[in-house]
Structure 1
Amino acid sequence: MSGRKLVAGLMLSSVLTVSTGMAYALAPEHEIRRLMLATEEAVAAESWSEAGEYLNRLRAMEGEKPAEYFYYRGRAMLQASHLNEARSALEQYITLAGAEGAYYQQSLKLITDIEKASRASIRALAEGQTNTEEPVAVIEPADGQDLKTLRTLYLADSDREALVIHLNTLLDTAGWRRDKTMVRLDRPADKQYQVALGSGNINIQDIERHPDGALVRKTRSLSVFGVNPQLRWDCEPVVGACWVYDPRDGSRLFQLADNRKQTQDIARTLGRLIRNLQQGSSGS
């Protein structure tokens, strides 16, 4: 009887180990490959819930994942209508796999489809709000502070001036860096932005530092009339970046460090500035 109990106990232990997933017989690199094959089959069969389950398990695993992981993640995110996350994953695939990647052409086409869908969403939102008077109170105060506090803080003569100074202060600390392992305050970020006001426009200066040390400055103009001042933003930890999106067409306006709070503050402050300019007052 004792021998039978021992065998039964061992069998029960094996069943529990497999069912709970607490132990793996395969080394991580082989388990990653197994899950990748399972994901590939699920995507081919358009079994998106199953594909999502495998992708979540892959994301939680340590070890380097093949470039195709990001392609499959992009496909799954697109099916779930998470357009920003889908685009980010597909761009990461292209960066890793290059033009020789098996899904290079498909990824480019999907990114174009995502861009079109984002623009259509922005247009639909704008059309839906054409006859709706949106109260200013919907926009939360910049960084949780009212405008009077900001004017005092920056010794500004007007709300508009205070918002511009505050926005540039936030942007100065939220620059995106290629090397995220070590952030040195004496080294500027690889992507930074500064804003200034024009005639009914917000002029945005993009400052990009290339790996070879070259510094490139470009200036874009954002017209504030007819756009939604409630700006969209999101973060994607997989690629270590956050984005604030252009209210005109849904494209990326700012690429920032992976910090949700900073990105939210920047989006809110820019929204307040847009609203201020739309009101057409002197900004006082």
Structure 2
Amino acid sequence: MQMRLTRKLIFALLISSGLVSTSTVSADPAAGLSSPEQANYLHEIKRLYNTQDERKALLAHVNKLLMTYALRAGYQVGQADRRDLIYSVALSAKGELLLREESRGESSTDIAVRNQRIDVFGVDPYIRYDCPTSGISCTLNNPHSGSAMITIVRDNNGAAELAKAMSFLIRNVQKG
């Protein structure tokens, strides 16, 4: 993110100094979605999951990250009601993602499952997240309401990677 900001600042400086013409600037907003950095990210995800299907690779990556950064009862030292929070994402109807939240108590017999449909059409695909320094968890926010959608263990890098993968998945589903 810092690198993108630096590039934008350098490019703005070059335009203002007249070293680069403004005709090279693309007014097409979709051009920002197909930058070499993003194409490289998608290529690496497809290679990692050994598939040419971008959507399958993104789904597998999101679900792998959700398992890796799941908020487990073992991380909740000192909490009164320690529970595992395990999420998974699947494709539902056209233009929808199905988010499954499984909450398990310490005894493993107390299980609650909640499903949430996320309509991706008409939303900003960028997933925002919050990792408060005083807590044990990070939350990824619902693109519709901005409310907490997913709770994971507090890991800034993990939350950033998961938000990035979810954003790419939403963009992919929005394409149809």
Which residue is 1:279 aligned to? 175
Residue correspondence of structure 1 range 3-22 to structure 2 within 5 A: none
Matching residue of 1:152:
47
Q: CA deviation at 1:208?
A: 0.7
Greater CA radius of gyration, 1 or 2? 1
1:51-200 maps to which residues of 2 (within 5 A)?
A: 134-135=29-30, 137=32, 146-180=41-75, 190-199=84-93, 200=95
Deviations 1:110-142 (A, max 9, x none): xxxxxxxxxxxxxxxxxxxxxx97436359899
Amino acid paired to 2:50: L
From the superposition, tell whether residues 143 and 276 of structure 1 become closer, same or farther in structure 2 (CA, over 3 Å). closer
- The equivalent of 1:211 in structure 2 is 106
For 2:86, give the aligned amino acid: Q
The equivalent position to 1:267 in structure 2, one of 160, 163, 172, is 163
- In structure 2, what residue type is equivalent to 1:241? S
CA offset digits 1:236-279 (Å, max 9, x no partner): 13121101000100111100100000001111111101111111
Superposition deviation, residue 177 in structure 1: 2.8
Distance 1:231 1:275, change over 3 A: same
Distance in structure 1 (CA, Å) of the matches to 2:33 and 2:115: 30
Question: Contact 1:176–1:255 at 8 Å: present in 2 too?
Answer: yes
% of aligned pairs identical?
27
1:255 corresponds in structure 2 to 151
**Alignment TM-score, normalising by the size of structure 1:** 0.46
* Cα drift, residue 198 of structure 1: 1.4
Match of 1:18 in 2: none
Q: Whose helix proportion is higher, 1 or 2?
A: 1
Q: 2 CA distance for matches of 1:206 and 1:196?
A: 12
Q: Which amino acid aligns with 2:54?
A: D
Q: Say what the alpha-carbon RMSD is for the aligned residues.
A: 2.8
CA distance in 1, matches of 2:67, 2:44: 20
1:185-237, Cα deviation, whole Å (9 max, x unpaired): xxxx7111001111221101101112343122221110100010111101013
Report the CA distance between 1:151 and its aligned residue.
Answer: 1.4
1:264 partner SS: helix
Which structure has the highest strand share of the two? 2
Kept in 1: contact 2:125–2:143 (CA 8 A): yes
Instruction: Tell me how many residue pairs correspond in the alignment.
Output: 143
C-alpha displacement at 1:181, in angstroms?
7.1
* Equivalent residue in structure 2 for 1:238, among 131, 134, 139: 134
Contact preservation (8 Å) 2:76, 2:136: no
CA contact (8 A) 1:228 1:247 kept: yes
Higher RCO (C-alpha under 8 Å, 6+ residues apart): 2
